[in-house]
Structure 1
Amino acid sequence: MTPKLGEVLLVDDYDADNFMHEMLFDEMGVSERVTVATNGKEAIEYLTTPKNGQYPRPELILLDINMPIMNGWDFLKAYQSLDDNARGDVVLMMVTTSLNPDDREAARSNPDINDFVTKALSEDSLNNLLRKHFPNRF
């Protein structure tokens, strides 16, 4: 049996994508828990709020770019200022519908972004991403 990811954090304001991605993770059985934040501010608050004395530790964050309140780029600025306890050891993927080449280049040049992919994820694309970023587990 493949070891599952403990937690995946979806940061996206679009309910249909969140629903589909939650279903995909559930159907594939690759994570114990999927948490949803509908904007970057909500995600930062989640990551910096200890529960039972510990910060949440998602292993994978799927981040959209275009969101209200705090978009993906603003989330990254705030995320980079977090201390190591709140940041954890995470694979951060930008998952977006943006076709803007400037977004792709900005993601490529950001050391915190591990990948830039077009949504919505499919079983094949998620399998490929998991094998790429968690090679010893998938």
Structure 2
Amino acid sequence: MKKLNSVLLIDDDMATNFISKMIIKKAGITDHIETVLNGKQALDYLTNSGQYQKEDNIFPQPMLILLDINMPVMDGWEFAEAFEKLDENQKGHIIIVMLTSSLNPDDREKASNFKAISGFQNKALTLEGLTSIMNTFFPE
């Protein structure tokens, strides 16, 4: 399987992040997994601002983001909206997959209306689900 430079997990649920990290490590798709608890922290991370402030103009650009919908501070929809407005040098070619426990079919429909959101998958992340993401968005 292809090796990614890094994966960013955006989810306020620590147990979900723990499970996702374990699956990602087991799959061996990256050596670097970053975890943030809401969309605002994710934007700060991607733009080198806030608690992630750096002076250089080298932005992290993880190859894959797994994004939750329901979070405090800034939810997944607000993040996707703000992400689409970022400069190209901050966005890179990041694949964003919504990883959610929402059973609302409207959420899948809404996700398809965002250019930034490439995929939609139900929680919890599984090895099969991750393999599907990798085969779809990062074919060898």
TM-score per shorter chain, which class? over 0.9
Q: Would you say 1:106 and 2:110 are equivalent positions?
A: yes
The alignment's TM-score, normalised by the length of structure 2, stands at 0.92
C-alpha deviation, 1:36, in angstroms: 0.4
Deviations 1:17-64 (A, max 9, x none): 000111111111111200001000000000000475401110000000
The aligned length equals 135
State the SS of the aligned residue for 2:5.
Answer: strand
In the other structure, the counterpart of 1:76 is 80
For the 8 Å contact 2:21–2:33, the answer to whether it is kept is: yes
2:91 aligned with 1:87: yes
Q: In 1, distance between residues paired with 2:7 and 2:92? A: 13
Q: How does 1:1-138 map to 2 (within 5 A)?
A: 2-49=1-48, 50=54, 52-136=56-140
Measured in 2, the distance between the counterparts of 1:51 and 1:26 equals: 30
Unaligned segments of structure 1, at least 5 residues: none
Identity rate, percent:
43
- The secondary structure found in structure 2 opposite 1:10 is strand
Deviation at 1:3, TM superposition (A): 3.5
* SS of residue in 1 equivalent to 2:60: coil
More off after superposition, 9-18 vs 118-127: 118-127
Please identify runs of 4+ aligned residues in structure 1 that moved more than 2 A.
50-53
CA RMSD of aligned residues (A): 1.2
SS in 2 for 1:32: coil
Structure-1-length-normalised TM-score: 0.93
CA distance in 2, matches of 1:47, 1:53: 11
The DSSP-based 3-state class of the residue aligned with 2:20 is helix
2: distance between equivalents of 1:27 and 1:123? 8
